[in-house]
Amino acid sequence: MRALLGAAVLLMVQYLPANLSAPEIVARSRTARGTLAPGRYVIVDRIRGGGFERIRTTRIDGDNSIAVVRSGPYTTASGFFNGQSWYQDENGLVLIRSDFRRYVDPNNQALAHPEDPAYHVSVVGLTPSQPHQYVLEVNPPGGSDQYRYYDAKTFLVDHFVTFDADLHQHVTEFSDYRPVFHSVRPFRIHTSDGRPQNDTVSETTSFERAPADSPAVNMPVSRRLYTIDKPLVIPATFGRNGIVVRVTINGRGLDFLLDSGAGGLAIDPGVAHQLGLASYGVTNQTIGGDVNISRTRVPELDVGPLRLHDVAFNVVPISYYADGVRIVGILGCDFIASAVVGIDFQKSIVTLYPDSFDPHALGMFTLPLQLDDGVPRVQASFEGVPGFFLLDTGAMGTVAYDIYVQKLKSSPPMVEQGLSLSAVGGVVPAQLKRLTDLEFGGIHFGDASVFVPSSSTFNLSDYDGILGRDVLSQYELFFDYAKRQLYIKPA
Protein backbone atom coordinates (compact mmCIF):
# COMPACT_ATOMS: atom_id res chain seq x y z
CA MET A 1 0.00 0.00 0.00
CA ARG A 2 2.83 2.43 0.81
CA ALA A 3 4.42 1.70 -2.56
CA LEU A 4 1.16 2.41 -4.38
CA LEU A 5 0.70 5.67 -2.50
CA GLY A 6 4.28 6.70 -3.29
CA ALA A 7 3.78 6.04 -7.00
CA ALA A 8 0.54 8.02 -6.94
CA VAL A 9 2.34 11.02 -5.40
CA LEU A 10 4.99 10.90 -8.16
CA LEU A 11 2.32 10.88 -10.84
CA MET A 12 0.61 13.94 -9.35
CA VAL A 13 3.50 16.09 -10.65
CA GLN A 14 2.58 17.96 -13.84
CA TYR A 15 5.28 16.80 -16.22
CA LEU A 16 6.18 18.63 -19.43
CA PRO A 17 5.87 16.72 -22.72
CA ALA A 18 9.06 14.90 -23.82
CA ASN A 19 10.37 14.92 -27.37
CA LEU A 20 12.24 11.60 -27.07
CA SER A 21 11.07 8.02 -26.79
CA ALA A 22 12.10 5.60 -24.04
CA PRO A 23 14.53 3.67 -26.31
CA GLU A 24 16.14 6.96 -27.39
CA ILE A 25 16.64 8.11 -23.78
CA VAL A 26 18.12 4.76 -22.71
CA ALA A 27 20.43 4.72 -25.77
CA ARG A 28 21.67 8.27 -25.13
CA SER A 29 22.31 7.41 -21.49
CA ARG A 30 24.47 4.45 -22.51
CA THR A 31 26.43 6.68 -24.88
CA ALA A 32 26.88 9.30 -22.16
CA ARG A 33 28.32 6.73 -19.74
CA GLY A 34 30.81 5.52 -22.31
CA THR A 35 32.88 2.36 -21.99
CA LEU A 36 35.91 1.93 -19.76
CA ALA A 37 39.04 1.62 -21.88
CA PRO A 38 40.67 -1.83 -21.83
CA GLY A 39 43.37 -2.11 -19.20
CA ARG A 40 44.13 -2.80 -15.57
CA TYR A 41 42.66 -0.57 -12.85
CA VAL A 42 42.44 -0.17 -9.10
CA ILE A 43 39.34 1.52 -7.63
CA VAL A 44 38.91 2.34 -3.95
CA ASP A 45 35.49 3.18 -2.47
CA ARG A 46 34.54 4.17 1.06
CA ILE A 47 31.11 2.91 2.05
CA ARG A 48 29.25 4.09 5.15
CA GLY A 49 26.00 2.57 6.39
CA GLY A 50 24.53 -0.16 8.55
CA GLY A 51 26.76 0.83 11.46
CA PHE A 52 29.92 0.07 9.50
CA GLU A 53 32.48 1.91 7.47
CA ARG A 54 33.75 -0.35 4.72
CA ILE A 55 36.59 -0.03 2.29
CA ARG A 56 36.07 -1.71 -1.07
CA THR A 57 39.12 -2.22 -3.27
CA THR A 58 38.32 -3.30 -6.81
CA ARG A 59 40.97 -4.56 -9.21
CA ILE A 60 40.09 -4.87 -12.89
CA ASP A 61 42.27 -6.85 -15.27
CA GLY A 62 40.57 -7.01 -18.66
CA ASP A 63 37.46 -9.15 -18.26
CA ASN A 64 38.57 -10.39 -14.83
CA SER A 65 37.86 -8.46 -11.66
CA ILE A 66 37.87 -8.79 -7.88
CA ALA A 67 36.28 -6.48 -5.29
CA VAL A 68 37.41 -6.99 -1.68
CA VAL A 69 35.30 -5.36 1.04
CA ARG A 70 36.77 -4.93 4.52
CA SER A 71 34.60 -3.81 7.42
CA GLY A 72 35.86 -4.25 10.97
CA PRO A 73 36.54 -7.96 11.55
CA TYR A 74 34.82 -9.01 8.32
CA THR A 75 36.09 -9.42 4.79
CA THR A 76 34.07 -10.42 1.74
CA ALA A 77 34.93 -10.52 -1.94
CA SER A 78 33.27 -10.94 -5.31
CA GLY A 79 34.26 -10.82 -8.95
CA PHE A 80 34.53 -12.40 -12.37
CA PHE A 81 37.18 -14.88 -13.47
CA ASN A 82 37.36 -16.34 -16.96
CA GLY A 83 33.72 -15.47 -17.53
CA GLN A 84 32.64 -16.99 -14.21
CA SER A 85 30.94 -14.91 -11.52
CA TRP A 86 31.75 -15.75 -7.89
CA TYR A 87 31.26 -14.52 -4.30
CA GLN A 88 33.21 -15.13 -1.09
CA ASP A 89 31.47 -14.58 2.26
CA GLU A 90 32.79 -13.69 5.73
CA ASN A 91 33.67 -17.32 6.45
CA GLY A 92 35.79 -17.60 3.31
CA LEU A 93 33.32 -19.79 1.44
CA VAL A 94 33.40 -19.20 -2.33
CA LEU A 95 30.22 -19.81 -4.30
CA ILE A 96 30.18 -19.96 -8.09
CA ARG A 97 27.27 -17.92 -9.36
CA SER A 98 25.21 -18.69 -12.42
CA ASP A 99 24.21 -15.01 -12.46
CA PHE A 100 20.65 -16.00 -13.35
CA ARG A 101 19.32 -12.76 -11.86
CA ARG A 102 21.10 -10.69 -14.48
CA TYR A 103 19.35 -12.60 -17.23
CA VAL A 104 15.88 -13.18 -15.76
CA ASP A 105 15.29 -10.09 -13.65
CA PRO A 106 12.33 -8.36 -15.36
CA ASN A 107 13.69 -4.85 -14.73
CA ASN A 108 17.09 -5.71 -16.19
CA GLN A 109 15.40 -7.18 -19.24
CA ALA A 110 13.15 -4.14 -19.59
CA LEU A 111 16.11 -1.74 -19.67
CA ALA A 112 17.90 -4.00 -22.14
CA HIS A 113 14.84 -3.95 -24.44
CA PRO A 114 12.95 -0.70 -23.79
CA GLU A 115 11.47 -0.88 -27.29
CA ASP A 116 9.51 -4.05 -26.43
CA PRO A 117 6.00 -3.06 -25.25
CA ALA A 118 5.79 -6.26 -23.19
CA TYR A 119 8.24 -4.74 -20.68
CA HIS A 120 6.17 -1.59 -20.06
CA VAL A 121 8.92 1.04 -20.38
CA SER A 122 7.34 4.44 -20.98
CA VAL A 123 8.22 8.14 -20.89
CA VAL A 124 6.39 9.99 -18.12
CA GLY A 125 7.69 13.36 -19.32
CA LEU A 126 10.10 16.15 -18.42
CA THR A 127 10.26 17.50 -14.88
CA PRO A 128 8.94 21.10 -14.84
CA SER A 129 11.73 22.44 -12.60
CA GLN A 130 15.32 23.13 -13.60
CA PRO A 131 17.49 21.30 -14.35
CA HIS A 132 15.02 19.36 -16.51
CA GLN A 133 15.07 15.59 -16.24
CA TYR A 134 13.52 12.95 -18.44
CA VAL A 135 11.45 10.54 -16.35
CA LEU A 136 10.98 6.93 -17.44
CA GLU A 137 8.67 4.45 -15.77
CA VAL A 138 9.87 0.84 -15.89
CA ASN A 139 7.15 -1.51 -14.69
CA PRO A 140 7.55 -4.98 -16.26
CA PRO A 141 5.29 -7.91 -15.34
CA GLY A 142 6.77 -9.68 -12.34
CA GLY A 143 9.24 -6.84 -11.68
CA SER A 144 9.31 -3.65 -9.62
CA ASP A 145 7.73 -0.33 -10.50
CA GLN A 146 10.65 2.06 -10.98
CA TYR A 147 10.94 5.72 -11.99
CA ARG A 148 14.28 6.70 -13.52
CA TYR A 149 15.39 10.35 -13.80
CA TYR A 150 17.88 11.30 -16.55
CA ASP A 151 19.49 14.73 -16.79
CA ALA A 152 18.00 16.31 -19.93
CA LYS A 153 21.38 17.74 -21.02
CA THR A 154 23.85 15.02 -20.14
CA PHE A 155 21.50 11.99 -20.12
CA LEU A 156 23.30 10.69 -17.05
CA VAL A 157 21.07 9.10 -14.39
CA ASP A 158 20.38 11.50 -11.53
CA HIS A 159 18.38 9.09 -9.39
CA PHE A 160 15.78 6.38 -9.52
CA VAL A 161 12.91 5.49 -7.22
CA THR A 162 11.85 1.86 -6.88
CA PHE A 163 8.67 0.58 -5.26
CA ASP A 164 9.72 -2.92 -4.33
CA ALA A 165 7.93 -5.99 -2.98
CA ASP A 166 9.04 -5.14 0.57
CA LEU A 167 6.62 -2.17 0.48
CA HIS A 168 9.44 0.33 0.98
CA GLN A 169 10.34 3.16 -1.39
CA HIS A 170 13.96 2.66 -2.44
CA VAL A 171 15.83 5.74 -3.68
CA THR A 172 19.27 5.62 -5.29
CA GLU A 173 20.97 8.95 -6.05
CA PHE A 174 24.03 9.42 -8.28
CA SER A 175 26.25 12.50 -8.14
CA ASP A 176 29.79 13.83 -8.62
CA TYR A 177 30.13 12.37 -12.11
CA ARG A 178 33.71 12.38 -13.40
CA PRO A 179 35.36 11.23 -16.62
CA VAL A 180 37.62 8.22 -16.10
CA PHE A 181 39.43 6.44 -18.92
CA HIS A 182 36.86 6.92 -21.70
CA SER A 183 33.90 6.48 -19.36
CA VAL A 184 31.87 8.68 -17.02
CA ARG A 185 30.92 7.39 -13.61
CA PRO A 186 29.39 8.74 -10.38
CA PHE A 187 31.89 9.14 -7.56
CA ARG A 188 29.08 9.34 -4.98
CA ILE A 189 26.05 7.03 -4.64
CA HIS A 190 23.46 7.39 -1.88
CA THR A 191 20.82 4.72 -1.25
CA SER A 192 17.89 4.90 1.17
CA ASP A 193 14.62 3.10 1.78
CA GLY A 194 13.09 5.08 4.64
CA ARG A 195 14.82 2.97 7.28
CA PRO A 196 17.72 5.03 8.72
CA GLN A 197 19.89 2.01 9.51
CA ASN A 198 19.88 1.10 5.81
CA ASP A 199 21.05 4.52 4.55
CA THR A 200 24.29 3.96 2.65
CA VAL A 201 26.75 6.37 1.05
CA SER A 202 29.46 5.08 -1.29
CA GLU A 203 32.25 7.48 -2.32
CA THR A 204 35.04 6.68 -4.76
CA THR A 205 38.31 7.91 -3.28
CA SER A 206 40.56 6.82 -6.16
CA PHE A 207 40.29 5.38 -9.67
CA GLU A 208 43.71 4.72 -11.18
CA ARG A 209 45.65 2.54 -13.57
CA ALA A 210 47.04 -0.51 -11.81
CA PRO A 211 50.82 -0.62 -11.35
CA ALA A 212 52.60 -2.66 -13.98
CA ASP A 213 53.86 -5.13 -11.37
CA SER A 214 50.46 -5.69 -9.69
CA PRO A 215 49.45 -9.37 -9.37
CA ALA A 216 47.02 -10.95 -11.81
CA VAL A 217 43.38 -11.14 -10.77
CA ASN A 218 42.34 -14.64 -9.69
CA MET A 219 39.42 -16.26 -7.93
CA PRO A 220 40.30 -17.06 -4.29
CA VAL A 221 40.34 -20.59 -2.93
CA SER A 222 37.21 -21.48 -0.99
CA ARG A 223 37.62 -22.12 2.73
CA ARG A 224 35.38 -24.59 4.50
CA LEU A 225 34.14 -24.50 8.08
CA TYR A 226 35.35 -28.06 8.57
CA THR A 227 36.98 -30.92 6.65
CA ILE A 228 36.30 -34.65 6.94
CA ASP A 229 37.94 -37.71 5.40
CA LYS A 230 35.17 -40.26 6.00
CA PRO A 231 31.35 -40.25 6.35
CA LEU A 232 30.20 -38.67 9.60
CA VAL A 233 26.72 -38.84 11.14
CA ILE A 234 25.78 -35.71 13.06
CA PRO A 235 23.16 -35.60 15.84
CA ALA A 236 19.84 -34.56 14.34
CA THR A 237 16.18 -34.88 15.24
CA PHE A 238 13.54 -35.02 12.51
CA GLY A 239 10.22 -33.53 13.48
CA ARG A 240 7.17 -31.85 12.03
CA ASN A 241 8.91 -28.47 12.17
CA GLY A 242 12.22 -29.45 10.61
CA ILE A 243 15.60 -31.05 11.09
CA VAL A 244 17.03 -29.93 14.43
CA VAL A 245 20.78 -30.18 15.04
CA ARG A 246 22.41 -29.84 18.47
CA VAL A 247 25.12 -27.15 18.60
CA THR A 248 27.34 -26.45 21.61
CA ILE A 249 28.75 -22.95 22.23
CA ASN A 250 30.67 -22.08 25.40
CA GLY A 251 29.51 -25.36 26.92
CA ARG A 252 25.84 -24.56 26.32
CA GLY A 253 23.75 -26.92 24.20
CA LEU A 254 21.56 -25.12 21.65
CA ASP A 255 19.13 -26.32 19.01
CA PHE A 256 19.61 -25.08 15.44
CA LEU A 257 17.56 -25.75 12.31
CA LEU A 258 19.37 -27.39 9.38
CA ASP A 259 17.99 -25.15 6.66
CA SER A 260 18.96 -25.38 2.99
CA GLY A 261 16.76 -22.33 2.40
CA ALA A 262 19.12 -20.13 4.42
CA GLY A 263 22.01 -18.38 2.67
CA GLY A 264 24.24 -18.46 5.76
CA LEU A 265 24.37 -19.07 9.50
CA ALA A 266 22.22 -17.28 12.07
CA ILE A 267 21.79 -17.03 15.83
CA ASP A 268 19.16 -15.31 17.96
CA PRO A 269 20.27 -11.92 19.43
CA GLY A 270 19.12 -12.82 22.96
CA VAL A 271 21.16 -16.00 22.93
CA ALA A 272 24.15 -14.20 21.40
CA HIS A 273 24.01 -11.66 24.23
CA GLN A 274 23.80 -14.40 26.87
CA LEU A 275 26.86 -16.05 25.34
CA GLY A 276 28.80 -12.77 25.45
CA LEU A 277 29.09 -12.49 21.67
CA ALA A 278 29.68 -8.94 20.39
CA SER A 279 27.38 -7.73 17.60
CA TYR A 280 28.53 -5.48 14.77
CA GLY A 281 26.43 -3.11 12.67
CA VAL A 282 22.70 -3.30 11.96
CA THR A 283 20.54 -3.32 8.85
CA ASN A 284 16.81 -3.87 8.42
CA GLN A 285 15.50 -6.41 5.94
CA THR A 286 12.05 -7.60 4.99
CA ILE A 287 11.59 -11.36 5.44
CA GLY A 288 7.85 -11.74 5.75
CA GLY A 289 8.15 -8.64 7.98
CA ASP A 290 10.87 -6.14 8.87
CA VAL A 291 13.70 -7.49 11.04
CA ASN A 292 17.00 -6.04 12.24
CA ILE A 293 20.10 -8.02 11.28
CA SER A 294 23.62 -7.61 12.66
CA ARG A 295 26.70 -9.85 12.67
CA THR A 296 28.87 -11.64 15.19
CA ARG A 297 31.75 -14.09 15.37
CA VAL A 298 31.63 -17.29 17.41
CA PRO A 299 35.17 -18.25 18.55
CA GLU A 300 34.36 -21.96 18.86
CA LEU A 301 31.37 -24.26 18.48
CA ASP A 302 30.76 -27.98 18.30
CA VAL A 303 28.33 -29.86 16.05
CA GLY A 304 28.47 -33.45 17.22
CA PRO A 305 32.12 -34.54 16.79
CA LEU A 306 32.94 -31.47 14.66
CA ARG A 307 34.70 -28.48 16.16
CA LEU A 308 34.46 -25.21 14.23
CA HIS A 309 36.55 -22.10 14.89
CA ASP A 310 36.01 -18.36 14.38
CA VAL A 311 32.71 -18.62 12.54
CA ALA A 312 30.75 -15.58 11.29
CA PHE A 313 27.01 -15.59 12.02
CA ASN A 314 24.16 -13.26 11.25
CA VAL A 315 22.31 -12.15 14.36
CA VAL A 316 18.60 -12.48 13.54
CA PRO A 317 15.51 -12.86 15.76
CA ILE A 318 15.04 -16.65 15.74
CA SER A 319 13.45 -18.06 18.85
CA TYR A 320 10.50 -20.43 18.80
CA TYR A 321 9.48 -23.78 20.20
CA ALA A 322 9.11 -26.75 17.86
CA ASP A 323 8.65 -30.42 18.70
CA GLY A 324 9.43 -29.70 22.36
CA VAL A 325 12.70 -27.84 21.77
CA ARG A 326 13.58 -24.17 21.42
CA ILE A 327 15.10 -23.27 18.05
CA VAL A 328 17.58 -20.40 18.41
CA GLY A 329 19.66 -20.57 15.24
CA ILE A 330 20.09 -21.77 11.69
CA LEU A 331 22.75 -23.88 9.99
CA GLY A 332 22.50 -22.86 6.34
CA CYS A 333 24.77 -22.51 3.35
CA ASP A 334 28.21 -22.27 4.98
CA PHE A 335 27.66 -25.45 6.98
CA ILE A 336 26.05 -27.40 4.13
CA ALA A 337 28.69 -26.28 1.63
CA SER A 338 31.57 -27.65 3.72
CA ALA A 339 30.80 -31.28 2.80
CA VAL A 340 28.37 -33.37 0.80
CA VAL A 341 25.35 -33.37 3.10
CA GLY A 342 23.11 -36.42 2.91
CA ILE A 343 19.59 -36.28 4.34
CA ASP A 344 17.62 -39.50 4.72
CA PHE A 345 14.10 -38.59 5.82
CA GLN A 346 13.00 -42.23 6.09
CA LYS A 347 15.77 -43.13 8.54
CA SER A 348 15.95 -39.63 10.13
CA ILE A 349 19.71 -39.41 9.60
CA VAL A 350 21.99 -36.58 8.49
CA THR A 351 25.38 -37.77 7.20
CA LEU A 352 28.31 -35.65 6.06
CA TYR A 353 30.45 -37.10 3.26
CA PRO A 354 33.91 -36.08 1.99
CA ASP A 355 34.61 -35.04 -1.60
CA SER A 356 35.24 -38.68 -2.54
CA PHE A 357 31.49 -39.35 -2.31
CA ASP A 358 30.36 -41.17 -5.47
CA PRO A 359 26.66 -40.69 -6.26
CA HIS A 360 26.81 -42.88 -9.36
CA ALA A 361 27.64 -45.94 -7.28
CA LEU A 362 24.28 -45.46 -5.54
CA GLY A 363 22.35 -45.02 -8.78
CA MET A 364 21.30 -41.49 -8.02
CA PHE A 365 19.54 -38.95 -10.20
CA THR A 366 21.57 -35.72 -10.59
CA LEU A 367 20.11 -32.23 -10.76
CA PRO A 368 22.13 -29.04 -11.29
CA LEU A 369 21.95 -26.45 -8.53
CA GLN A 370 22.14 -22.68 -8.88
CA LEU A 371 23.46 -21.05 -5.70
CA ASP A 372 23.65 -17.34 -6.43
CA ASP A 373 22.27 -16.40 -3.00
CA GLY A 374 23.62 -19.37 -1.10
CA VAL A 375 20.27 -21.16 -1.48
CA PRO A 376 19.74 -23.97 -4.00
CA ARG A 377 17.51 -23.22 -7.00
CA VAL A 378 16.34 -26.16 -9.12
CA GLN A 379 13.92 -26.80 -11.93
CA ALA A 380 10.54 -28.43 -11.34
CA SER A 381 7.18 -28.15 -13.07
CA PHE A 382 3.45 -28.24 -12.52
CA GLU A 383 1.24 -29.11 -15.51
CA GLY A 384 4.38 -29.19 -17.65
CA VAL A 385 5.08 -25.49 -17.00
CA PRO A 386 8.77 -25.26 -16.00
CA GLY A 387 9.75 -23.12 -13.07
CA PHE A 388 12.64 -22.53 -10.72
CA PHE A 389 12.04 -23.48 -7.11
CA LEU A 390 14.05 -22.99 -3.94
CA LEU A 391 14.92 -26.26 -2.16
CA ASP A 392 14.10 -25.58 1.47
CA THR A 393 14.54 -28.21 4.18
CA GLY A 394 13.43 -25.50 6.64
CA ALA A 395 9.96 -25.20 5.06
CA MET A 396 7.25 -27.67 6.03
CA GLY A 397 5.14 -27.16 2.90
CA THR A 398 5.56 -26.36 -0.76
CA VAL A 399 4.88 -22.83 -2.01
CA ALA A 400 4.02 -21.52 -5.47
CA TYR A 401 4.00 -17.78 -6.07
CA ASP A 402 0.94 -16.28 -7.67
CA ILE A 403 2.77 -15.06 -10.80
CA TYR A 404 3.75 -18.69 -11.52
CA VAL A 405 0.29 -20.07 -10.72
CA GLN A 406 -1.16 -17.65 -13.29
CA LYS A 407 0.95 -19.35 -16.00
CA LEU A 408 -0.72 -22.73 -15.45
CA LYS A 409 -3.23 -23.94 -18.01
CA SER A 410 -5.86 -24.86 -15.45
CA SER A 411 -7.48 -22.72 -12.80
CA PRO A 412 -6.19 -24.47 -9.66
CA PRO A 413 -8.98 -25.07 -7.14
CA MET A 414 -8.71 -23.59 -3.68
CA VAL A 415 -8.52 -26.10 -0.85
CA GLU A 416 -8.50 -23.65 2.06
CA GLN A 417 -8.09 -19.93 2.64
CA GLY A 418 -7.37 -17.79 5.68
CA LEU A 419 -4.07 -19.61 6.29
CA SER A 420 -0.65 -18.11 7.04
CA LEU A 421 3.01 -18.89 6.42
CA SER A 422 5.60 -18.28 9.12
CA ALA A 423 8.73 -16.30 8.28
CA VAL A 424 11.50 -14.81 10.40
CA GLY A 425 9.81 -11.39 10.31
CA GLY A 426 6.27 -12.61 11.03
CA VAL A 427 3.44 -14.39 9.26
CA VAL A 428 2.18 -13.98 5.70
CA PRO A 429 -1.44 -14.61 4.65
CA ALA A 430 -1.81 -17.50 2.20
CA GLN A 431 -4.26 -19.78 0.44
CA LEU A 432 -3.93 -23.52 -0.03
CA LYS A 433 -4.48 -24.62 -3.63
CA ARG A 434 -4.41 -27.95 -5.39
CA LEU A 435 -1.92 -28.06 -8.28
CA THR A 436 -1.60 -31.04 -10.57
CA ASP A 437 1.21 -32.92 -12.29
CA LEU A 438 4.25 -31.98 -10.23
CA GLU A 439 7.44 -33.29 -11.82
CA PHE A 440 10.65 -33.22 -9.78
CA GLY A 441 13.73 -35.39 -9.50
CA GLY A 442 12.43 -38.30 -11.52
CA ILE A 443 9.09 -38.52 -9.72
CA HIS A 444 5.70 -37.56 -11.10
CA PHE A 445 3.26 -36.50 -8.39
CA GLY A 446 -0.39 -36.76 -9.40
CA ASP A 447 -1.17 -33.57 -7.54
CA ALA A 448 0.10 -31.51 -4.63
CA SER A 449 -1.38 -29.06 -2.19
CA VAL A 450 0.69 -25.87 -2.24
CA PHE A 451 0.56 -22.60 -0.38
CA VAL A 452 0.07 -19.47 -2.47
CA PRO A 453 1.12 -16.38 -0.45
CA SER A 454 -1.25 -13.42 -0.58
CA SER A 455 1.48 -10.92 0.31
CA SER A 456 4.12 -9.92 -2.21
CA THR A 457 6.64 -9.34 0.60
CA PHE A 458 7.09 -13.11 0.84
CA ASN A 459 7.64 -13.59 -2.88
CA LEU A 460 11.17 -13.79 -4.23
CA SER A 461 11.16 -12.48 -7.79
CA ASP A 462 13.88 -14.89 -8.92
CA TYR A 463 11.98 -18.00 -7.82
CA ASP A 464 8.62 -19.46 -8.79
CA GLY A 465 8.16 -21.03 -5.40
CA ILE A 466 9.61 -23.28 -2.72
CA LEU A 467 9.83 -27.06 -2.51
CA GLY A 468 9.42 -27.91 1.17
CA ARG A 469 9.72 -31.06 3.23
CA ASP A 470 6.34 -32.42 2.10
CA VAL A 471 7.98 -33.05 -1.30
CA LEU A 472 11.62 -33.40 -0.28
CA SER A 473 10.85 -36.13 2.27
CA GLN A 474 9.92 -38.43 -0.62
CA TYR A 475 13.62 -38.66 -1.51
CA GLU A 476 17.08 -39.29 -0.21
CA LEU A 477 18.91 -36.01 -0.83
CA PHE A 478 22.62 -35.29 -1.11
CA PHE A 479 23.61 -31.64 -1.39
CA ASP A 480 26.97 -31.07 -3.09
CA TYR A 481 27.41 -27.29 -3.18
CA ALA A 482 31.06 -27.50 -4.25
CA LYS A 483 30.04 -29.20 -7.50
CA ARG A 484 26.68 -27.41 -7.66
CA GLN A 485 24.81 -30.70 -7.80
CA LEU A 486 21.90 -32.32 -6.01
CA TYR A 487 22.00 -36.11 -5.95
CA ILE A 488 18.55 -37.51 -5.42
CA LYS A 489 16.89 -40.89 -5.12
CA PRO A 490 13.23 -41.62 -4.53
CA ALA A 491 12.81 -43.05 -1.06
Tens digits of residue pLDDT in 222-241: 999 999 999 999 999 999 88
Report the mean per-residue pLDDT for the chain. 91
pLDDT band for 480, please (50, 70, 90 cuts): very high
Q: What is the DSSP letter of 368?
A: E
183: helix, coil or strand? strand
Q: What is the reported pLDDT for 458? A: 58
Q: What is the reported pLDDT for 5? A: 45
Q: Dihedral (C-alpha) 462, 468, 403, 484: value to the nearest 10 degrees?
A: 30
Instruction: Tell me the average pLDDT across 267-294.
Output: 88
pLDDT band for 2, please (50, 70, 90 cuts): very low
Other Cβ atoms closer than 10 A to 354:
13
Please state, in angstroms and rounded to a whole number, the distance separating the CA atoms of residues 317 and 270: 8
What percent of the chain has pLDDT above 70?
95
With a cut of 90, say whether residue 34 has pLDDT above it. Answer: yes
Please state, in angstroms and rounded to a whole number, the distance separating the CA atoms of residues 159 and 91: 34
With a cut of 70, say whether residue 3 has pLDDT above it. Answer: no
pLDDT band for 446, please (50, 70, 90 cuts): confident
The contacts of residue 270 (CB under 8 Å, 6+ apart) are 319, 328
Picking from 157, 147, 148, 164, the residue whose alpha carbon sits closest to that of residue 198 is 164
The alpha helices in 265-415, defined as continuous H runs, are 269-274, 333-336, 402-405
> 64 forms bridges with which residues in the sheet?
61
Tell me the helix, strand and coil percentages in the chain, rounded to 5.
Answer: 15, 50, 35
Please state, in angstroms and rounded to a whole number, the distance separating the CA atoms of residues 405 and 385: 10
Picking from 382, 380, 385, 354, the residue whose alpha carbon sits closest to that of residue 368 is 380
Q: What is the reported pLDDT for 448? A: 85
Q: What is the DSSP letter of 129?
A: S
- Judge whether 441 and 418 are in contact, CB under 8 Å: no
Q: Kindly calculate the radius of gyration of the chain based on its CA atoms and give it in whole angstroms.
A: 24
Query: Tell me: the pLDDT tens digits for 172-195?
Result: 999 999 999 999 999 999 999 999
Ramachandran bin of 321, using left for φ above 0, alpha for ψ from -120 to 50, beta for the remaining angles: beta
With a cut of 50, say whether residue 420 has pLDDT above it. Answer: yes
Please state, in angstroms and rounded to a whole number, the distance separating the CA atoms of residues 353 and 340: 5
Q: What is the reported pLDDT for 445? A: 83
Q: What is the reported pLDDT for 19? A: 95
The contacts of residue 411 (CB under 8 Å, 6+ apart) are none
Report the sign of the C-alpha dihedral through residues 399, 403, 408, 412, in that order. Answer: positive
459 or 1: which leads in pLDDT: 459
- Judge whether 310 and 324 are in contact, CB under 8 Å: no
Q: What is the reported pLDDT for 236? A: 95
Query: Tell me: the pLDDT tens digits for 189-235?
Result: 999 999 999 999 999 999 999 998 999 999 999 999 999 999 999 99
With a cut of 70, say whether residue 341 has pLDDT above it. Answer: yes
pLDDT band for 4, please (50, 70, 90 cuts): very low
Q: What is the reported pLDDT for 456? A: 59
Q: What is the reported pLDDT for 461? A: 67
Q: What is the reported pLDDT for 451? A: 93
Please state, in angstroms and rounded to a whole number, the distance separating the CA atoms of residues 244 and 316: 18
One DSSP character per residue, 205-229 reads EEEEEPPTTPPPP-PPPP--S---S
pLDDT band for 374, please (50, 70, 90 cuts): very high
Please state, in angstroms and rounded to a whole number, the distance separating the CA atoms of residues 71 and 116: 42
1 or 333: which leads in pLDDT: 333
The alpha helices in 95-227, defined as continuous H runs, are 100-104, 106-112
With a cut of 60, say whether residue 11 has pLDDT above it. Answer: no
Query: In this predicted structure, which of 8-12, 22-26, 414-418 has the lowest mean pLDDT?
Result: 8-12
With a cut of 90, say whether residue 373 has pLDDT above it. Answer: no
pLDDT band for 100, please (50, 70, 90 cuts): confident
First to last CA, the chain: 45
36 or 421: which leads in pLDDT: 36
- Judge whether 316 and 332 are in contact, CB under 8 Å: no
Q: What is the reported pLDDT for 24? A: 98
The contacts of residue 459 (CB under 8 Å, 6+ apart) are 165, 401, 402, 403, 453
Q: What is the reported pLDDT for 455? A: 65
Q: What is the reported pLDDT for 432? A: 94
Q: What is the reported pLDDT for 441? A: 85
Instruction: Tell me the average pLDDT across 255-279.
Output: 95
pLDDT band for 428, please (50, 70, 90 cuts): confident
- Judge whether 267 and 218 are in contact, CB under 8 Å: no
Q: What are phi and psi for residue 109, nearest 5 degrees?
A: -65, -35
- Judge whether 91 and 311 are in contact, CB under 8 Å: yes
